[in-house]
């Protein structure tokens, strides 16, 4: 526990929570650690935080971008409230240095999993919501995801990563990408890994809590590396 004191108190100060916040400790407790130490995991907070993040982003879009119709607003929200974006926000906050995980997850470098980081971000939002109220949680979400919202607004018609990669691959004459997906971990903490191939060549690997999320993460990484 001593190794956690400095990072978690620093995080508490940065997000406006009490240094002794039990909610924050729970928010930073992965199910693998909870199972090993018989404490509460962040799963219930993650469930609540998912709803708070979704509402906060929707409110931000409606309030700050009145020119968007319902369809455009929905598309922007889907580009913001997803595993990849939330994991990026978690990395910027340094949550990977604070989340408590079990020995197996730590050994497998599980703290790098986008799904784990995204869940921790949602749990953190829930802790802020319960301790300080919705307005504080909304403002925190706005600060953490505002840049991503702005980027999504600039390209509201952008397609999803898999479609974008497929269009690029077909334009090169190499056909549609193919995906190879495997599942790892126990039933309560399954993580999917996907490899994406174009013209029979492995371009990138991704991971996620679901097969769909893993394929999308692989497609996004492949798109970023396509000209490398």
Query: Hunting for tokens 């056909």 — which residue is that?
Result: 175
160 is catalytic: no
Between CA 148 and CA 198 the distance in angstroms is: 28
Look at residues 190, 183, 156 and name the one whose alpha carbon lies nearest to residue 70.
156
Among residues 122, 131, 189, 215, which one is catalytic?
122
Within 81-185, residue ranges assigned H as helices are 83-93, 103-107, 114-132, 134-154, 161-171
Query: Hunting for tokens 């940065």 — which residue is that?
Result: 14
Between CA 30 and CA 146 the distance in angstroms is: 26
State residue 201 phi and psi, 5-degree precision.
Answer: -105, 130
CA-to-CA separations, 36 to 29, 57, 96, in angstroms, rounded: 11, 35, 19
Give the number of other Cβ atoms within 10 Å of residue 21's Cβ.
20
122 is catalytic: yes
Among residues 46, 50, 88, 131, which one is catalytic?
50
Give the number of other Cβ atoms within 10 Å of residue 223's Cβ.
17
Between CA 18 and CA 127 the distance in angstroms is: 11
Between CA 27 and CA 42 the distance in angstroms is: 5
Residues that are catalytic:
50, 122
């Amino acid at each position: 526990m001593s190794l956690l004191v400095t990072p978690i108190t620093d995080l508490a100060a940065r997000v406006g929570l009490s240094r002794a916040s039990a909610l924050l400790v729970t928010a930073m407790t992965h199910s693998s650690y909870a199972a090993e130490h018989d404490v509460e995991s962040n799963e219930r907070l993650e469930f609540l935080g998912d709803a708070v993040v979704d509402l906060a982003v929707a409110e931000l879009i409606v309030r700050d971008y009145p020119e968007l119709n319902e369809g455009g607003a929905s598309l922007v929200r889907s580009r913001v409230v997803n595993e990849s974006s939330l994991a990026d926000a978690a990395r910027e906050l340094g949550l990977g240095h604070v989340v408590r995980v079990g020995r197996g997850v730590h050994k497998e470098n599980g703290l790098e999993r986008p799904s784990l980081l995204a869940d921790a971000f949602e749990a953190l939002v829930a802790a802020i919501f319960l301790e300080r109220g919705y307005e504080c949680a909304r403002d925190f979400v706005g600060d953490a995801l505002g840049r991503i919202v702005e980027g999504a607004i600039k390209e509201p018609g952008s397609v999803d990563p898999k479609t974008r990669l497929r269009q690029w691959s077909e334009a090169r004459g190499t056909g549609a990408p193919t995906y190879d997906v495997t599942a790892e971990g126990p039933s309560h903490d399954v993580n999917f890994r996907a490899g994406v191939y174009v013209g029979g060549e492995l371009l990138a690997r991704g991971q996620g809590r679901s097969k769909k999320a893993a394929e999308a993460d692989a497609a996004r990484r492949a798109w970023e590396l396509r000209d490398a």
